[in-house]
Structure 1
Amino acid sequence: MAGFAIASIVVSLLLPARYSAEVTLLPPQQNSSLASLPAGLANLSGVAAMAGSSLGLKNPNDTFVAMLKSRTVEDGMVQHFRLMDEYHARYASDARKKFEKYASVDGSRKDGLIHIVVEDHDPKRAAELANGYVEQFRGLSSHLAITEAAHRRAFFEQQLEQAKNNLANAEEAMKVTEQKTGLIELNSQARALIESAAALRAQIAAKEVQIRALSTFATSENAQLKQAQEELAALQAQMAQLGGSADGTDGGLLVPKGKVPGSSLEYVRKLRDVKYYETIFDILARQFEMAKLDEAKEGPLVQVVDSAVPPDKRSFPQRSLIVISATLAGLLIGILFAFFSALYQHTQLDPVLSSKMRRIRELLWLRKLAT
């Protein structure tokens, strides 16, 4: 037992010391601002909510933990801190695997925070590696839309740009028509009917986009999808009462016949398109501004709760634990050795037991020869 204790002390003193530095992060919390959207803008809320609801993650931190463990972040650490030289690695992939042994990322604790622990032989360098891990992650996430608001902002930004181009094209087409046919003055009733029909077409288009988005992750029995389909049917019924179709390909005026002279049909169609794209652009612009405000309220992508500081004591080796474990192991081995030694001596002193043991050895030897 004393030998084991002495040997464990020597081994623990020879093992290189390592220090662990930890940084704690608070990931952004998903907001629920979609629930408070005005009723007039609810046509596109399902599309905006799709980004968060379709992820299906059991733990929201899983996304950020996976990003922290991504090859891009780890390669950034290898290059920035020259880990290939530190770990004497020939290839970057080898240095990355070596780094993974000394770094751990955990986002499954009950506190809901993300804990990054990095080990190194130098306590100051361990803290630098842990804090550098966060900076590399921020570099990756700066150009990615991760949060719900960021998803919505990116989605509406793309759709808004497309709607802006469509509106510009429609306005240009109307300008050409005015130059060709001359400026036509419609009465207030006809203009109101055209504007109402264009707004109705825009609502139908938005509802169809929402249904397509819901269909990507919801089954046909989904309550939200069913409700959206019922709302679309109601809007299409209103459009049918005006004598037109949602896409405007039927050539209908979307106003009762007789309200507009036959020579003004082309002008009315161009005016209808302009009002339609104006409504779409207005819906998307307001949604885009709301998404930007939500994204701004979320603050930084990740917030550092506790920065890593140079640890004041080593994390490996735990010399007291090694000495105690080795001493207990030596004690157990000594007890077992004493027990079997006493049993062997007792067997040798008893002629009957000695004969049986000799017979067993002979049988085992003969079986070994036979095989």
Structure 2
Amino acid sequence: MEIPMTIVGAACGAAWRRRRFLALLTGGSTVLAVVAALLIPPLYRASVLLVPNQTGSSLSAALGDLTGLAGQFGISTGGEDPSRLFPEILQSRSLTHAILRSKVTASDSTSAVYLDWLGVDGATEAQRLEKGTKLFQMARSRVVLNPKNSSVKVVVFDRDPLVAAGIANRMASELDRLNQEIGRKNAREKRVFIEERRREVLRQLEADEEELTSFRVKNRNYIGSPQLVLEFERISRRVRLDEELALTLARELEIARIDEYKDVPVINVLDRALAPAERHSPRRAMIVIATFTISLLVGLALVLAWDGRRQFWSSFTAPGTTGMGR
């Protein structure tokens, strides 16, 4: 009894018969992959690790400024940890535009505006910024939040290692700058409000003191009248409340003045970006191996399909068989 040929045997037989075709296909594809891998410009990867500031009481004030900063970008905190807003702010249009307008210095000491360095063209500056924003956010940067410790990793890709590291560090600096700017603005608005409120309280205190003085002049013997005593206590109580409120506002005003010029960092840079020594992509060996494997599999599939088709049609033309249409 004749043992039928297995699928593996059939595949090996077909591959051997078409070995020249397979060699040309896999060899040609591999050579093209090598050339393409060598022509693809390298990209370098630099990253900076940011963590929320953990300096006790400063943290609540700093994160409060961050919440205000998020409001400037139209981002709702939803009552969550404000440090989780880092990715949204780092990928905001305002911060990205500031990065694109900044200057970069390459490894060969050449300098250029980052938007020009990316080679973004456009009829107007607005169009260039729009294209540059999409390119930077989609292909040249990535922001990853670690929900366990609220740390954020900012990753930047560029054809020059020094530029990649510089942009990553600049994103961290820009986040801190924006926070300080909004924090000072909030502190200034708070100071103005407290100053106005304190002036109102001082005017009210002055009026109440004048009323108390007038009462004493008009009613020198008010002790003998329960009604006058009650009126005296009422006016005196208003004066004491005004004094306490004025004193509290004076303290708050000093704090607001200090906060207006105080730098409270929201973030700590745990790991600054360094210029990478090795490229991140392309992974040339992987490209060549993957191309060789895929081309070999495609070639085998074509050979098997070709061989199967030949056997199918030969069965209709073999002696002693009845073909279609007969």
TM range (shorter): 0.5 to 0.7
Amino acid at match of 2:180: S
**Residue 318 of structure 2 is aligned to residue 349 of structure 1:** no
- In the alignment, what sits opposite 1:167? 201
Amino acid at match of 2:102: H
Is the CA contact (8 Å cut-off) linking 1:28 and 1:298 kept in structure 2?
no
**Residue 88 of structure 2 is aligned to residue 63 of structure 1:** no
From the superposition, tell whether residues 274 and 358 of structure 1 become closer, same or farther in structure 2 (CA, over 3 Å). farther
Q: Name which of 115, 130, 135 aligns with 1:84.
A: 115
- In the alignment, what sits opposite 2:144? 106
From the superposition, tell whether residues 75 and 297 of structure 1 become closer, same or farther in structure 2 (CA, over 3 Å). closer
From the superposition, tell whether residues 270 and 318 of structure 1 become closer, same or farther in structure 2 (CA, over 3 Å). farther
**Residue 270 of structure 2 is aligned to residue 305 of structure 1:** yes
Amino acid at match of 2:116: D
- In the alignment, what sits opposite 2:9? none
Q: Name which of 15, 18, 22 aligns with 2:47.
A: 22
From the superposition, tell whether residues 58 and 318 of structure 1 become closer, same or farther in structure 2 (CA, over 3 Å). farther
SS in 1 for 2:171: helix
**Residue 283 of structure 2 is aligned to residue 261 of structure 1:** no
In the TM superposition, what are the counterparts of 1:47-58 in structure 2 within 5 Å? 55-56=77-78
- Post-superposition shift, 1:74? 1.1
- 1:232-281 per-position Cα deviation (integer Å, ceiling 9, x unaligned): xxxxxxxxxxxxxxxxxxxxxxxxx954517x83x655433332233445
| Identical pairs, percent | 24
Amino acid at match of 2:313: Q
From the superposition, tell whether residues 22 and 352 of structure 1 become closer, same or farther in structure 2 (CA, over 3 Å). same
Is the CA contact (8 Å cut-off) linking 2:191 and 2:253 kept in structure 1?
yes
In the TM superposition, what are the counterparts of 1:117-196 in structure 2 within 5 Å? 117-145=155-183, 160-161=194-195, 163-178=197-212, 180-181=214-215
- Post-superposition shift, 1:22? 0.6
Is the CA contact (8 Å cut-off) linking 1:163 and 1:277 kept in structure 2?
no
- Post-superposition shift, 1:88? 2.8
SS in 2 for 1:144: helix
- Post-superposition shift, 1:124? 0.7
**Residue 95 of structure 2 is aligned to residue 95 of structure 1:** no
Is the CA contact (8 Å cut-off) linking 2:212 and 2:236 kept in structure 1?
no
**Using the alignment, how far apart are the partners of 2:313 and 2:249 within structure 1?**
96
From the superposition, tell whether residues 30 and 313 of structure 1 become closer, same or farther in structure 2 (CA, over 3 Å). same
> CA-atom RMSD, angstroms?
4.4
Specify which structure has the higher proportion of strand: 2
- 1:195-221 per-position Cα deviation (integer Å, ceiling 9, x unaligned): xxxxxxxxxxxxxxxxxxxxxxxxxxx
Q: How many residues matched?
A: 267
**Using the alignment, how far apart are the partners of 1:357 and 1:102 within structure 2?**
62
SS in 1 for 2:201: helix
Amino acid at match of 2:156: V
SS in 2 for 1:312: coil
Q: State the TM-score, normalizing by the size of structure 2.
A: 0.66
- Post-superposition shift, 1:145? 4.3
Amino acid at match of 1:140: L
From the superposition, tell whether residues 320 and 180 of structure 1 become closer, same or farther in structure 2 (CA, over 3 Å). same
**Using the alignment, how far apart are the partners of 1:121 and 1:298 within structure 2?**
35
**Using the alignment, how far apart are the partners of 1:272 and 1:182 within structure 2?**
15
Is the CA contact (8 Å cut-off) linking 2:44 and 2:164 kept in structure 1?
yes
